[in-house]
Every structure is written in structure tokens, then in C-alpha cells.
Amino acid sequence: MKNTPFQNYLLNLEKAVSVLGLSKEESNILREPENIIEKKIKVELEEEGSKELNAYRVQFNNARGPYKGGIRFHQDADINEVKALAAVMAIKCAVADIPFGGAKGGVQFNPKHMSKRDIEKVSRAFANAFADDIGVDKDIPAPDVYTNSSVMAIMLDEYEKIVNKSEPGVITGKPIELGGSLGRENATAQGGAYVLQEFIDTIHPKKKDLTVAVQGFGNAGSNIAKILHYMGYTIVAVADSKGGVYSSNGIDPEHAVKVKHEKDDLTHMYCEGTVCDLEKLERDGAKIIKNEDVITCECDILIPAALDEQIHKDNAKDVKAKVILELANGPTTPEADEILKEKGITIIPDILANAGGVTASYFEWTQNRNGFYWSEEEVQKKLKPIMIKAFTDIWKMSKEKNIPLRDTAFALGVDRIIQATRHRGRV
């Protein structure tokens, strides 16, 4: 039987526990969340009528600071998944060395074809139900899968009505006009790009003309494609759940973004429905691909930037990339990890690769608390050294201990949380 996401987290935790030689009492701190809050939220939807949705906030650990982590709207966001994601947030914040613990929220429904009004109703209902559980020094939500700055804006509005004061720091990933930070929108991608470039400079300083395939074309996927394109990488594949394009000659990500925006379908770069411009495809050395084809396509660097478990035991053996940069949370299963290790493929793990998002959330929170806002250049200037330091800490420890980057990143994060717990006298 397939492992649950939380079982997968525990497998990674076990490895870190053995690397660090932690006692049972110490490691038990990270085996279960501190708080699991489950609620049914009732909404009166315009299209689907009256609905009761399962909603969760899991507060995993706050030894290093207030709970922090996104809220996802997804039909698979059940308690097990949200628990695993909350745990990973705690480790991620520790890896980035920012003063937060870890949490995650979720509402279990499919928002894909829902109207803006209905999404707003769910967002308001969530903020209402969890207003007592979150707080600027307690638990700070943010966007995650299928939530965005508009959802954060509605949640903030509802929260501020309840507490009857302005409290922008209670939630991050907000629109700029409501106290969002410049540079937050593309920070996940920008952070990943800093880490990738540092990795390349460390192992192949002279390497040029590297090819990149990106799976998922939402915020993280489209932004990393644009950033790496400007940095001189060749983007050879982009796709999302509706499919996409592979082109050995390279794809212009700006054009892909425009097509996605206008047609909501990346294959429209070459096709109208089932009719494709074969001449143009041939001229560009391009072909239409399915989302899952990106994982096994010909490229140097593979970037899963969508959902979890995209690289699994059945396709890992066919991965051709030499490096995987995990912008999504949990895109590689533990079985796939083993297969990729055998093949000598380096994985830059999610808790390092996508930590730019929560790091920029930290900047947003500090700006909200100070009431003084930074320029985009300042945000970049502060993000880069945090990402490079996280990479360097992990790289050095991985070489010293001769273990993969994921195991090292986990060990580093767990170590920092346990040290904070020891200082508190809790173990």
C-alpha cells in the first residue's frame, strides 16, 4: 500500500534523527503536531448551493517562533496531507533560519471551476472559523496551492472586522495595496533560482547552455521559467495539467505566460483545440506533450513546480535530467528518491529550493510590524544571502556526512528546532 504524506515525512524525520543521534524524547517532539484544528465551514455558494466543507489548520511546532505556513484549497487537502505539509513548513523555516515555526491550512474542495464570488465566500468563512487560532504573534497564514493574494486580502478583511483593528501582519502574500511586500509574488521562484545558480557555480562553474524543463505553470513555475530564461538557461519544456510544449530549440516563457493568460492552455502556443500548426511545430523543433511527460523529457535540469508525488517509482527510472530543483512541496516520493540516488541525479530538496516564498513572507511580516516598506531591490538584496547561506550550510554538511541534500536539509532543520526546544527546557 502507498505511504501517506505524513508517513513519508516520518521516514525523512527518522533519517535526520539517526544522523543527529537524537533521543526518543527529543525526536518525539517532531513526530506529532502541537495542535490540530478541524472545522466544518458552511457556505452558501451561488453555483452549488449550501455546502459544508472540511477545513483544517495544523500548528506543528512553534519552538523557533510563531506558527507559519500557507492555506491550500484542494480536493485532496485532507488532514493527513495538511499535517505532513505543516511539519515540512517547520523544517523549512528552520532551514532558511527565519524565526518561525511551522503550520499549514487547507479547505477540502475543488476551486478550479468556481466563480470568484464563491471563492471569496469560502475565504471569508475560513477566516471567520479560524480567527481565534491565528494571530500576528501566534500563527500567520499565507498562500499555497490554489490560493493567492486575492484570497489573502479577503481573509485579512474578515479577520480585521472580527478583531476590530488593522492587523496586516496576521497574514502574508497580500496584495501590495494591503501591505504586501514587493518581490513576494515571485520570491519562491527567485529563491529557487539563487539556489540553483549557486549549486551550478559550485559544481560546474563554467557550465553554459543548460536546458530546463518546468512542470506546472502557476506562480512558481511561470516565474522560474522567466527568471532562468533571462539568466541564460534554455527552457525546453513547459506544461501544466492541460498539457504543454517541448522544444529543443527553446521556449520563450513570456510568450507561454501570454498564451496561458489568454487561452488558459499552453498547447495553444501551437494548437487551436485538436488542430495543430504542424509546420510551425516542425520549424521550432517542438512537440505537444502531456504534463507527466515533462518529468522524463530530455533536459539538464528538471523543475517540478506543481503538486506533490509527480516523480514516483514508476517514472523515476526514466528521468533524464541530472539535477532536480523541487519548487513544489513533496514532488518526489521516497521510493523515487532511492532510484534517483542510484542514477546519480542530484535533488535540490523542496525545503531548500522553495524556501524563498516563506522567507519573503517573513520580510512582509517584519515590514507590516514596522510600518515601513522596502523597495523590490531591497527585498532581493536580503533574500539572496539567506538562500545562499541555506544552500552553503546544507552543501557543507552533506559533504562532511556524505549524505544526500534532502537528508542533510532535514537534519539541519530538525537540529535547529531541537536546539530551540532545549533552550526552552522542554527536553
Looking only at Cα atoms, what is the longest distance across the chain? 69
Q: How far is the CB of 68 from ligand GLU (least distance, A)?
A: 5
Q: Are 346 and 325 in contact (CB under 8 A)?
A: no
Q: Which of 68, 92, 104, 260 is catalytic?
A: 104
Count CA atoms within 13 Å of residue 343 on its CB side: 20
Decide: is 91 part of the binding site for ligand GLU (CB under 6 A).
no
Catalytic site residue 207?
no
Distance, in Å, from the CA atom of 220 to the CA atom of 358, rounded to the nearest integer, reads: 13
Q: How far is the CB of 278 from ligand GLU (least distance, A)?
A: 40
Site string for ligand GLU, 22-61 (x = CB under 6 A): ----------------------------------------
Q: How far is the CB of 358 from ligand GLU (least distance, A)?
A: 4
Which of 8, 12, 149, 172 forms a contact with ligand GLU (CB under 6 A)? 172
Which of 219, 329, 332, 398 forms a contact with ligand GLU (CB under 6 A)? 329
User: Which CB, 66 or 244, lies closer to ligand GLU?
Assistant: 66
The sheet carrying 35-45 orders its strands as: 35-45, 49-61, 102-107, 67-73, 139-143
DSSP 130-168: HTTT-BTTTEEEEE-TT--HHHHHHHHHHHHHHHTS--G
User: Which CB, 93 or 286, lies closer to ligand GLU?
Assistant: 93
Span near ligand GLU by CB under 6 A; candidates 47-55, 63-71, 242-250, 381-389? 63-71
CA triplet 10, 13, 15: central angle to 5 degrees? Answer: 115
User: Which CB, 144 or 160, lies closer to ligand GLU?
Assistant: 144
User: Which CB, 17 or 134, lies closer to ligand GLU?
Assistant: 134
DSSP three-state, residue 107? strand
Decide: is 68 part of the binding site for ligand GLU (CB under 6 A).
yes
Q: How far is the CB of 279 from ligand GLU (least distance, A)?
A: 42
Decide: is 387 part of the binding site for ligand GLU (CB under 6 A).
no
Site for ligand GLU in 349-368 (CB under 6 A): 354, 357-358, 361
Q: How far is the CB of 113 from ligand GLU (least distance, A)?
A: 23
Question: Ramachandran region of residue 209, left (φ > 0), alpha (ψ -120 to 50) or beta?
Answer: left
User: Which CB, 289 or 394, lies closer to ligand GLU?
Assistant: 394
Span near ligand GLU by CB under 6 A; candidates 54-62, 68-76, 214-222, 375-383? 68-76
- Nearest residue to 418 (alpha-carbon basis) of 123, 11, 24: 24
Distance, in Å, from the CA atom of 196 to the CA atom of 321, rounded to the nearest integer, reads: 14
Q: How far is the CB of 417 from ligand GLU (least distance, A)?
A: 16
Decide: is 218 part of the binding site for ligand GLU (CB under 6 A).
no
Q: How far is the CB of 65 from ligand GLU (least distance, A)?
A: 12
Q: Between helices 5-20 and 79-96, what is the axis angle to 10°?
A: 30
Residues binding ligand GLU: number (CB under 6 A): 12
Phi, psi for residue 16 in degrees, rounded to 5: -65, -40
CA 181, 182, 184, 185 torsion: positive or negative? positive
Q: Are 29 and 418 in contact (CB under 8 A)?
A: yes
Which of 118, 120, 144, 407 forms a contact with ligand GLU (CB under 6 A)? 144
Distance, in Å, from the CA atom of 214 to the CA atom of 204, rounded to the nearest integer, reads: 21
Q: How far is the CB of 52 from ligand GLU (least distance, A)?
A: 25
CA 213, 215, 221, 222 torsion: positive or negative? positive
User: Which CB, 320 or 382, lies closer to ligand GLU?
Assistant: 382
Q: Are 131 and 162 in contact (CB under 8 A)?
A: yes
User: Which CB, 78 or 265, lies closer to ligand GLU?
Assistant: 78
- Looking at residue 61, the DSSP 8-state letter turns out to be E
Which of 33, 66, 69, 192 forms a contact with ligand GLU (CB under 6 A)? 69
Decide: is 192 part of the binding site for ligand GLU (CB under 6 A).
no
User: Which CB, 356 or 404, lies closer to ligand GLU?
Assistant: 356
DSSP three-state, residue 414? helix
Provide the annotated active-site residues.
104
Binding site for ligand GLU (CB under 6 A): 68-70, 142, 144, 172-173, 329, 354, 357-358, 361
